[in-house]
Structure 1
Amino acid sequence: MTSRAVSFWLNPQELSFQSGQDLPNLADVVVIGGGITGISTAYWLSRLGLHSVVLERGELSCGATGRNGGHFVFGTNQSFKDSVAAHGVANTLALWNFTRQSAELLKDLTEQHNIDCDLRFNRLAYLAMTPEQAQSLQESCELMMSHGLAIKYWGKQEVERNTQCSSFSAAAVEPHHAQLWPAKLVVGLAKAAQQQQAHIQTQIEVQAVTRQAKEFRITTNQGEIQAKAVVYATNALTYHLLPVLKGVIVPVRGQVVATAPTSQLFDFDWCLSNDTGYAIQRQDGRIIFGGMRWKSPTKEIGLEDDSTLEPLVGEGLKAFLRDTFSSLKEVAIEYEWTGIMGFTADENPLIGELPGRPGEYISAGYTGHGMPVAIAAGKAVAEQIAGSAQTPIPKPFWPERFLLG
């Protein structure tokens, strides 16, 4: 595995931010991590009048945010049916509403701050490849409709007509979905946060967080900062600073390819219903396709190196596009990259104050679905810190479920 992984979203981008030459000595809140979660949290903290300092060990958006598939997926990580079985109807609907709220915030922020991140709202189709998957999709669709959620079911003929492909047995089509250029969103939001006096610095590695009475000392490779609160927005790598989360949030490497621009095949984005692949087609015609981790002997579990590629996964991605869609048999692959996601056992993130650790907050462990959660999560955490909570965090996201008992 010697191939260099270069993300389409990060090439080229101006991702180095230095709000000042020197690290501040004091902050109300130190936010660790410069992806969408950390920048969103800093933005909302600054809106609430708190002085926040964001510390990122690399460049802005250089982790999972700048290495994903460009999706903004509404709803639950699990199928609606599985989420209801695990958490009940009320909690499942609360998860849906949280992502809906996040989408509304995303739309408002991009308009308010003129952030050009190629945001486009469209549809998402979950594609079944076997009769068993089709049956499961149909059952989930019926349950969603019974609870007032908009969803359409396509049978074999309808899905073939809409995909120009005979490989799929059925589809469940969500009318609410979005695609975007994630790194451009982060840069735009970071600039807005800076204008509100948030302090953002890249190339700063946090080495330790030490509690001192009711405050914290954050030790970095470039000095120390005192803060009243700290936010861990480090997703899969959180256990390096919080060993108690080792095994709770597990690193999993994803791999993505980007084709050359091609003719428009879809007016919707799509995922394979067995969670082995996901794709968008951008307005420039380029298809971004990720997944196929099952092709790797390790399933890419426990890996933290996003600088190299797994050839078996890469060939699986390319073969699926070539073999499934006749018009893509000769399409060129122009980019291929990897990114590290943070998975939890129940597929939900940890969002909120850490139990038994007052002043320490987390938003991490998104299980590959961070974009539709992070903006609202940043707002909710900022409000908790400011003591003005207006954005309820759904119970399935509470950290207590893993850290108590």
Structure 2
Amino acid sequence: LRKLYDAEKFPKILILEKNNRLCSGASGKNGGFLWPNTDSLYDYVDRYGERTGYEMVEFAHNNAVELEKFVNENNIECDLNLKDGNLALARTKDEWLELVYSLDLVKKFVTQYPRSTMKMENFELWDHDKCTANIHSNKFIGGLMMKYSGTLWTAKLVYGIIKLILSMNVHILTNAKVVKVDSIEMVPTISKLSLENGTIIWARNVVHATNAYMTEYINFVRDKIIPTRGQCMITKPLEKSYWTYGMSANNGREYYHQLKDNRIVFGGCTKENASEHKSMDDREINAEVRREHELFFEQWYPNMTTKIEIEQEWAGVMACTVDKLPLVGKLPNSKGRNEFIIGGYNGDGTPNAFLCGKAIARMIANESPFQEGEGKGTVSFVKAYLPDRFLLS
């Protein structure tokens, strides 16, 4: 809002953080991937149709473009690396064929829509030999290199944004857990926010930008969001740098990259672990998932000369939706209040959140979130992300 509109239009903006420290939830604990999920285009097209599938990957690509521009313009130090790319690896023939099919779909899309911001030169299929020569493992059949994608330190990005917005007369209140939002009879368009500590706050516009915690106080999402605990680790420094790009395996269920100090950040191994679903507790570490993290490198990188040792582990609660699409837009059934929701990223918040936030700002100002993209022949928002899809289905 502050970047798009004059302060006179929205004079008072208040951010409520339920914890005592900003960026201490899942957003500050993720693996740090700016991954456009082009490797999953085959799945998106199968689930949602060609047009929506294309929009999803184009939107994520544009999110990276806009985020890079924002970071550079505001001199935010967040270790953003969009030069080395990300590599989606295939362990089986089926996974390899899915990568090939996804790339074929990208080619079809950019041919049909020449104004697309995605370019074919940003993608390259790696066969078994090229993978073996570059990733220090002969265990993978091949991979899809997505050159314009990469990694960043998410918490540093958030702290950089916080520093920026504090200079723009935006206020932040911590230890401010919202437990209820309702209306007042006299002015039904005004929202009344009740905090856990008894504080009452009145607002003309409310944006619920949270993880699965929103299921505790928003009725609409309770049967649509599944709290899912993710788990990451960081290793002790290795003796050398093995890769400068990020990687994923098992259809994105495991993901990892190496930092400048040669430590490896690794996450995943939880999507098929039933104990991690419907879990809101991010204080505990799952020993079974920990063991899977350790076994991953033993199994898939047996030739690494340094034994992988875990330095630190942590968990974060993600908001996974029942249809695997984000929830971004006006909150249905809000009884005339101007309430919006932005979340339910299914673990893909970093590749989508920046432009989703911009779309919400447009909606608050009663403007179309699609207009900017349509004017440029690209995608500035995905219609399938609107929450009212559940009212129509």
TM category (shorter chain) comes to 0.7 to 0.9
Q: TM-score, normalised by structure 1?
A: 0.84
Q: CA deviation at 1:231?
A: 0.6
Contact in 1 for aligned 2:18/2:177 (Cα 8 Å): yes
Aligned with residue 360 of structure 1, among 328, 333, 339: 339
Give the corresponding residue for 1:83. Answer: 44
Pair 1:164 & 2:109 matched: no
Contact in 1 for aligned 2:150/2:245 (Cα 8 Å): no
Aligned with residue 366 of structure 2, among 387, 390, 396: 387
Q: CA deviation at 1:49?
A: 4.2
Give the corresponding residue for 1:211. Answer: 183
Contact in 1 for aligned 2:220/2:332 (Cα 8 Å): no
Give the corresponding residue for 2:262. Answer: 285
Structure 1 stretch displaced more, 375-384 or 270-279: 270-279
Q: TM-score, normalised by structure 2?
A: 0.86
Aligned with residue 386 of structure 2, among 358, 375, 398: 398
Q: CA deviation at 1:376?
A: 0.9
Give the corresponding residue for 2:34. Answer: 72
Q: CA deviation at 1:72?
A: 1.0
Give the corresponding residue for 2:304. Answer: 327
Q: Secondary structure at the match of 1:54?
A: strand
Give the corresponding residue for 1:261. Answer: 237
Alignment of 1:125-274 (within 5 A): 125-148=87-110, 150=120, 151-212=123-184, 213-220=188-195, 221-262=197-238, 263-274=240-251
- In the alignment, the residues of structure 2 paired with residue 294 and residue 201 of structure 1 have an alpha-carbon distance, to the nearest angstrom, of 33
Distance change in 2, residues 1:104/1:47 (3 Å):
farther
Q: Secondary structure at the match of 2:276?
A: coil
Contact in 2 for aligned 1:204/1:222 (Cα 8 Å): no
Q: CA deviation at 1:347?
A: 1.7
Give the corresponding residue for 1:372. Answer: 351
Contact in 2 for aligned 1:69/1:288 (Cα 8 Å): yes
Contact in 2 for aligned 1:249/1:365 (Cα 8 Å): yes
Structure 1 stretch displaced more, 173-182 or 383-392: 383-392
The aligned amino acid for 1:137 is: L
Contact in 2 for aligned 1:352/1:362 (Cα 8 Å): yes
Alignment of 1:295-310 (within 5 A): 296=273, 298-310=274-286
Contact in 2 for aligned 1:45/1:383 (Cα 8 Å): no
Q: Taking every aligned residue pair, what percent have the same amino acid on both sides? A: 29
Alignment of 1:308-319 (within 5 A): 308-319=284-295
Deviations 1:29-71 (A, max 9, x none): xxxxxxxxxxxx7766776842211101112111111111011
Contact in 2 for aligned 1:233/1:362 (Cα 8 Å): yes
Q: Secondary structure at the match of 2:351?
A: helix
Distance change in 2, residues 1:253/1:45 (3 Å):
farther
Distance change in 2, residues 1:265/1:170 (3 Å):
same
- In the alignment, the residues of structure 1 paired with residue 227 and residue 362 of structure 2 have an alpha-carbon distance, to the nearest angstrom, of 28
Q: Secondary structure at the match of 2:52?
A: helix
- In the alignment, the residues of structure 1 paired with residue 250 and residue 277 of structure 2 have an alpha-carbon distance, to the nearest angstrom, of 20
Gaps of 5+ in 2: 111-118, 371-379
The aligned amino acid for 1:327 is: M
Contact in 2 for aligned 1:259/1:334 (Cα 8 Å): yes
Q: Secondary structure at the match of 1:383?
A: helix
Contact in 2 for aligned 1:355/1:404 (Cα 8 Å): no
Q: CA deviation at 1:166?
A: 1.1
Pair 1:101 & 2:62 matched: yes
Task: Compute the RMSD of aligned alpha carbons.
Answer: 2.1
The aligned amino acid for 2:315 is: T
- In the alignment, the residues of structure 2 paired with residue 248 and residue 177 of structure 1 have an alpha-carbon distance, to the nearest angstrom, of 30
Structure 1 stretch displaced more, 236-245 or 362-371: 236-245
Q: CA deviation at 1:154?
A: 1.6
The aligned amino acid for 1:172 is: L
Distance change in 2, residues 1:363/1:328 (3 Å):
farther
Aligned with residue 54 of structure 1, among 2, 11, 15: 15
The aligned amino acid for 1:218 is: L
Distance change in 2, residues 1:237/1:163 (3 Å):
same
The number of equivalent residue pairs is: 363
Alignment of 1:18-33 (within 5 A): none
Distance change in 2, residues 1:294/1:398 (3 Å):
closer
The aligned amino acid for 1:215 is: I
Distance change in 2, residues 1:279/1:328 (3 Å):
farther
Gaps of 5+ in 1: 1-40
The aligned amino acid for 1:370 is: G
Aligned with residue 323 of structure 2, among 331, 339, 346: 346
Contact in 2 for aligned 1:130/1:169 (Cα 8 Å): yes
- In the alignment, the residues of structure 2 paired with residue 175 and residue 286 of structure 1 have an alpha-carbon distance, to the nearest angstrom, of 22
Contact in 2 for aligned 1:52/1:199 (Cα 8 Å): yes
Structure 1 stretch displaced more, 217-226 or 87-96: 87-96
Q: CA deviation at 1:202?
A: 1.2
Contact in 1 for aligned 2:294/2:308 (Cα 8 Å): no
Give the corresponding residue for 2:116. Answer: none
